[in-house]
Amino acid sequence: MADAALVDWATLETDGLAGLHAADDEPALRAWNTRFFGDKGLVKAAMGGIAKVPKESRAAFGQEANRVKVALETEYAARLDSAREAALVAGLTADPLDVTLPGRPRPRGVLHPATQILRQIYAICADMGFQVYRSREVESDEFNFELLNMPEHHPARDMWDTFFTETPGQILRTHTSPGQIHVMREMAPNPVRVILPGMCYRNEAISTRSEIQFLQVEGLVIGEGVTMADLKGTLTAFARRMFGPDRQVRIRSSYFPFTEPSIEVDIDWPKEDPNRDRLTKGTGWLEILGAGMVHPTVLRNGGYDPDKVTGFAFGMGPQRMLMLKAAIDDIRLFWGNDVRFLAQF
């Protein structure tokens, strides 16, 4: 019986080696391993026959079983490594890698359209001698209203729908004009020529033309002998750089508490633009900003003597300007994060 058991192991070894040599890839080798060494494999089943072997033959039976197992496992490992290497070589041959080729370019994003129009404004103003000055977005009631000639209960405050904070007297700035006081107090009594860009906040209904947060760019010039003619020349030069060299400028009287006199500035819109009537409501003129001579009270609050110096200020909406230039009819698109919109710029 011991001889029969030994013959069985020899036959199992022969069959196993033949199966290994017939398997030509990794999946076939793994199937072979399951057949011979799985939980229900042939080797385990053969080991179960040791109970039928006489005691005096069990040592020889075990030795033969271990020899066959080691032989099969060794051959299986060698065949598996060979199959993996062959697959790797075949893959490299089928799709060779040329390390001298340039890498695949990754798509790059672009500047947000609001940033693009701001940079265009910066460049135009820099050419006219303006510096960029930044001020805080969380303001005090004093700087946002009182020092700009709007004391408590002044009816002009109704023009700005305000976001109030939990701290008394602290608000989100409704315009960039509070920056005028900051820069004047920092630079007085020296001349001033700055622009003050930044985000503003107003608690008003969101629509295609209005947002609760929006960009503004404030301009401020202070010095001896500054006149309305200087303001007009500056705004005309800016409008022609921004919208085209043939643009005409129209000035209308207006009211702002912190300027006197106050004006609003329009430009004529090209007749060939099919959106002309819609944008200008049939007038042919389009408002682009508000401006005026700095009120003497504001100059005094900023640390300047209005009897010795004068100044002018203007305020513009960069997003509105881009809407005009690119025929955008919904201001909400700027903060909507819609890639279809942003990718156009």
Model pLDDT for residues 30-40, shown as the tens digit of each residue: 888 888 888 88
Confidence of residue 120 (pLDDT cuts 50, 70, 90): very high
pLDDT at 52 (0 to 100): 78
Whether 304 and 313 have beta carbons less than 8 Å apart is answered as no
Region 6-29: what's the mean pLDDT? Answer: 82
**Structure tokens, 117:** 């129009």
Torsional class of 7: left (φ above 0), alpha (ψ -120 to 50), beta (otherwise)? alpha
CA distance 81 to 174: 72
Least confident span in 60-74, 176-190, 266-280, 308-322: 266-280
pLDDT at 7 (0 to 100): 44
The pLDDT > 90 percentage for the chain reads 41
pLDDT tens-digit readout, 85-113: 888 877 767 666 777 888 888 877 889 99
Region 219-232: what's the mean pLDDT? Answer: 96
Whether 131 and 194 have beta carbons less than 8 Å apart is answered as yes
pLDDT at 6 over 50: no
Confidence of residue 42 (pLDDT cuts 50, 70, 90): confident
pLDDT at 310 over 50: yes
Average pLDDT, the chain: 87
Region 226-240: what's the mean pLDDT? Answer: 94
pLDDT at 2 over 50: no
pLDDT at 159 over 60: yes
Region 277-292: what's the mean pLDDT? Answer: 84
* Distance (Å) of CA 5 to CA 12, 13, 40, 62, 68: 11, 13, 19, 10, 13
pLDDT at 338 over 80: yes
Of 159, 144, 120, give the one whose Cα is nearest residue 318: 120
Whether 133 and 183 have beta carbons less than 8 Å apart is answered as yes
pLDDT at 211 over 80: yes
Alpha carbon of residue 75 to chain centroid: 57
pLDDT at 95 (0 to 100): 66
pLDDT at 331 over 60: yes
CA distance 267 to 245: 12
pLDDT at 1 over 70: no
pLDDT at 92 (0 to 100): 67
pLDDT at 156 over 80: no
More confident residue, 9 or 243: 243
Whether 198 and 215 have beta carbons less than 8 Å apart is answered as yes
pLDDT at 4 (0 to 100): 41
pLDDT at 158 over 90: no
pLDDT at 3 over 60: no
pLDDT at 117 (0 to 100): 94
CA distance 262 to 292: 4
pLDDT at 125 (0 to 100): 96
pLDDT at 308 (0 to 100): 96
More confident residue, 196 or 203: 196
pLDDT at 140 over 50: yes
Confidence of residue 272 (pLDDT cuts 50, 70, 90): confident
pTM: 0.67
pLDDT at 313 (0 to 100): 97
CA distance 9 to 15: 10
The pLDDT > 70 percentage for the chain reads 96
